[in-house]
Structure 1
Amino acid sequence: MRLFFLSAPATNTAECPDPTRSAQRKRVLWLSCTAHALHDGYTDMIYALLPTWQADFGLGYGALALLRGIYAGTMATLQVPAGSLARLLGTRATLAIGTLLAALGYALAGMSGSLLGLCVALTVSGCGSSTQHPLASGSVSRAYGRNARAPLSVYNFAGDLGKSALPAAVSLLINFMPWRHALWAMSAIGILVALVIALFLPSVRGIESSAEATASEATQGSQSGFSLLFAIGVLDTAVRMGLLTFLPFLLRSKGISPQMMGTALALVFIGGAAGKFACGALGARVGVIGTVFTTEGATAVLILAVIWLPLAPAMILLPLLGVMLNGTSSVLYGTVPELTPAGRTERAFALFYTGTIASGALAPVAYGLVGDRIGVHGATIATAATALVIFPLALALRRHLSTT
């Protein structure tokens, strides 16, 4: 971690005319959003395919969990190397190649005839998807400089759109064609996106204004500040994934019907998507620390309210709970560049995303063990307590930020 905070050598960047620079920034943002939607959609598309693979290959639940774990684990562990590769090949080439690999992985899955074949295919796709988070978010950050918070929230929101659209699309296609053909169709979309990125993603350093470049080069970053931000991100993800693990059981204890369970979860996810979009912009206006205090405090209160309220009022609170659960993440992502030295933005995002993805995988296991000992209500209260643990970390982070 210490090497990460060594300052990078200064580089000169040419200043473009304002209209050209603005147009190129927008192109960076929308292509990054497209990449985020595609890759996050590919990641969650596995959930829609697991029942089909179980029936077609006769897989047990352990094998199905292995498939999901291979993709997520490969994607998480290779994000830092992806940032290093981008310094050699360039962001545009690396992101385009990664997107192509992610698409080809699903094409290979459509050709596979065994569990081993699926494992290899998902490993290839996971390798490709490892490039997206550090490089696309780093590109948006570099393009917008000190004004990157709101664009990063839009980028963050785009990932949720992909998580909703692509699994639904593949599920629909499977109703009209063999699942292998459906995967080839989804792979074709990824190949097209890779081609668009290769042809049209601008060179980010070429569109930074000289003032922003100078400010960026003067920033040395803060090792302790980034460590605090990293810890907050890990705990925030743990709260979110832990609660989502227990929420169905909590609602079932209140007498919710199986038909309404899907509606309840959809309310949370809709609120979560809105929270990513809204709280990023809110953080740019009222400050990081104030927003974190608001979202995490409200998360703890709403979790306790959902535990103790009857079903009907609890259902009403679910969209707001989703807003608060996901809202913090956009503010945190937008703060990464502020605590990062020049030339290390992609690496910072890679480290940050690796930590949050790992937290998302491990937190349900940890809370599950707690739930085995003290029950569903006790484990859910533990997620609320975890949200409150973020408060002192946020206070400590305040002194590392230029604005709060």
Structure 2
Amino acid sequence: MTHANVPAEEAPNRDWRIIGLIGTGHFLSHFYMLCLAPLFPIWREEFGVSYAVLGLSVALMSAVTALLQTPVGFLVDRHGARPYLLGGTLIMALSISAMALAPSYWVILGLAVLSGIGNSVIHPADYAILGSSIGEKRMGRAFAMHTFTGNLGFAAAPLVIGLMTQTMGVSWRAALLSLGLLGVPVVAALVLQSRILKDQARPKKGGAPVGRKVLLSRTMLMFFAFFLLSSMAGSGVQAFLIATLDQLWGTPLAVASLALTGYVVGATGGVLIGGWYADRYSRHFTFVLGLTSLSILLLLAMGLLPLPDLVLPVVALVAGTALGASRTPRDVMVKHAAPPGQIGKVFGFISSGLPLGGAITPVPFGLMLDNGMPWLVLPTVALLLVASLLCAGGARGESLRSTRSTSPAPAPAE
């Protein structure tokens, strides 16, 4: 793929500018989703509400984001991604800033819903722009940086809020006002650079299925299940690895925490390895299969064997890295399977499986620990990952069959 009206030597610089713009917005999106939770102790005293009620702010923001991603994806495909990305980012940022002026917690809840509406635009618009604007030789790295910046946003939010409110003595209102307003220059940069953000071509009439038919196809339903099951497994590890290791082997808290940190760091950095691979090789499913299988074996080892304290964090680091590296080729597989002009709705629908998976997992895994069955946690995670691979294989097979049935002649080898 080459960019229209852009000399070949300029395409890489252009691509990295686009990746930087989209990645910065994605960082803010994830940052805003986790910047409220560290304020719960302060809000509990100031507004006199329970932690259960406080949790509604994060739950509502996440739920609204997940529910609206698919409808927004239809709008992105119909009208173009740029206006929705600009509007969504601005709504998201100003909603966080407006919380600084909230006279009661119930106003914060309403603004959390509004921020979730803005946030719902990010995934469908980002992937539509990246898929249409970035050269194929850098598509894997573009998707990898998109995931990486989002993970950095999640990691940075509690740290920044804690430093501002606890160490620097900044009031929570001033913190949210200033952090929310960071979105304004990001929107300004998107406006100034909007000419390099390309919208996808409209689907041709009489071509591939459109609208709901695409999302209800076996290929997309299997990709949705792949994302859902992967998210269920990952959230189970992140939420309960420390408690599981404690109940199983009496692992010291410091060692178990280091193991979880290693897993999360590996999963975050691994996506960059996956992006490098996806741009150089075409066997994406083989890569996903191999690395996910390695992660399954290592997670089972942690759950079935009393590993030495020095070995445990290393095993967790490698397991997280392997799983993280498999994510970018997975995203590229989805992009290649999406019909032309329909990336927004496809990624809006499929990526909604990620927050849904994270919402499903905590209660059943918590019940396993509560009922004295810690030995079941990591094998269940492994089973979820095996099921996700079966769905990925099924999606790939359906995509290949669909390609053969619609192609007049065999496509040239990559």
TM-score range, shorter chain: 0.7 to 0.9
Letter in 2 for 1:304: L
Query: Does 2:147 align with 1:162?
Result: no
State the match for 1:270 in structure 2: 265
For 2:208 and 2:278, how far apart are their aligned partners in 1?
23
Letter in 1 for 2:163: L
State the match for 2:194 in structure 1: 201
Kindly state the Cα deviation for residue 48 of structure 1 after the two structures are TM-superposed.
Answer: 2.2
Query: Does 2:125 align with 1:127?
Result: no
State the match for 2:177 in structure 1: 184
For 1:267 and 1:219, how far apart are their aligned partners in 2?
47
Displacement over 6 Å in runs of 4+: 213-219
State the match for 1:78 in structure 2: 68
Contact 2:76 2:124 in 1 (8 A): no
Q: 1:337 aligns with which of 312, 335, 338?
A: 335
Query: Does 2:18 align with 1:28?
Result: yes
**Worse overlay, 365-374 or 230-239:** 365-374
**Worse overlay, 256-265 or 125-134:** 256-265
For 1:215 and 1:158, how far apart are their aligned partners in 2?
30
Contact 2:77 2:343 in 1 (8 A): no
**What SS does the aligned partner of 2:388 have?**
helix
Decide whether aligned partners of structure 1 residues 287 and 218 sit closer, same or farther in structure 2, where only a CA change above 3 A counts: farther
Query: Does 2:130 align with 1:140?
Result: yes
State the match for 1:303 in structure 2: 299
Q: 1:363 aligns with which of 361, 364, 389?
A: 361
State the match for 1:3 in structure 2: none
Unmatched runs of 5 consecutive residues or more in structure 2: 404-412
Contact 1:275 1:326 in 2 (8 A): yes
For 1:381 and 1:216, how far apart are their aligned partners in 2?
46
Unmatched runs of 5 consecutive residues or more in structure 1: 1-12
Contact 1:96 1:197 in 2 (8 A): yes
Which whole-Å deviations, capped at 9, do the CAs of 1:157-201 have from their partners, x for residues lacking one?
A: 111122222332222111321111011110111122122112213
More helix by share: 1
Kindly state the Cα deviation for residue 257 of structure 1 after the two structures are TM-superposed.
Answer: 4.0
For 2:42 and 2:262, how far apart are their aligned partners in 1?
26
Give me the TM-score of the superposition, normalised by structure 2. 0.84
CA RMSD of aligned residues (A): 2.8
**Worse overlay, 308-317 or 93-102:** 308-317
Kindly state the Cα deviation for residue 302 of structure 1 after the two structures are TM-superposed.
Answer: 1.0
For 2:311 and 2:10, how far apart are their aligned partners in 1?
51
Kindly state the Cα deviation for residue 93 of structure 1 after the two structures are TM-superposed.
Answer: 2.0
Query: Does 2:96 align with 1:106?
Result: yes
State the match for 2:142 in structure 1: 151
Kindly state the Cα deviation for residue 87 of structure 1 after the two structures are TM-superposed.
Answer: 4.7
Contact 1:228 1:397 in 2 (8 A): yes
Letter in 2 for 1:272: A
Letter in 1 for 2:52: G
Query: Does 2:271 align with 1:281?
Result: no
Query: Does 2:240 align with 1:246?
Result: yes
Letter in 1 for 2:175: A
Letter in 2 for 1:75: T
